[in-house]
Amino acid sequence: MKQKLLGGLAMVAAIAVLYVFSMPSYRQGEPSIAGRRAPDFTIATDGKQFHLSDLRGKVVVLDFWASWCPPCVEEASSMNALQQRISTQGGTVLGISWDDDPAAYQKFLQEHGVNFPTYRDDNRKIGTNYGTVMIPEVYLISRDGRIARKIVGPQDWTSPELTAALDALLRSN
């Protein structure tokens, strides 16, 4: 009888943990970072340097992803649709890939028709600086370079909730 009771309690505890982690409020990030200045970073590619701060004045959807991440693959088409929608309104998706293998990274970009700027950060230095520990993870950054929201896990970037959040950021000065 004691084993059945302990087994039942363990099952209830496991379900409770799964429920908490699947709640949208958990997956929609850490409100404590809202308003913080987005850490600037530099990426060197093709002999040129790019800084996040070069995008000041735009709304930036900073997306940490990798080709080997099934949820990242799952949301690739909605990220492309998001880029297409916000690029004419002063916004951009900026991808930071955690791919170690340059060939796998390039193959992913071609196969999924990635239409937004993306860079490989194989040492994960940028993600670590942001506090990213799992992917996909996105930071919505306002025009003045402040983090508006952190979103953990795969999303449908064409959903009404995310469309409304991004439209609000795009309308702000």
Please tell me the predicted confidence (pLDDT) of residue 26. 43
Can you tell me whether residue 13 is helix, strand or coil? Answer: helix
- Confidence (pTM): 0.81
Cα–Cα distance measured from residue 165 to residue 173, given in angstroms and rounded to the nearest whole number? 15
The fourth-level CATH superfamily of domain 31-171 is Glutaredoxin (3.40.30.10)
Q: Residues 108-163: pLDDT tens digits?
A: 999 999 999 999 998 899 999 999 989 999 999 999 999 999 999 999 999 999 99
pLDDT exceeds 60 at position 7: yes
Query: What is the radius of gyration, based on Cα positions, of the chain?
Result: 18
Burial of 56 (0-12, 13-18, 19+ CB in 10 A): middle
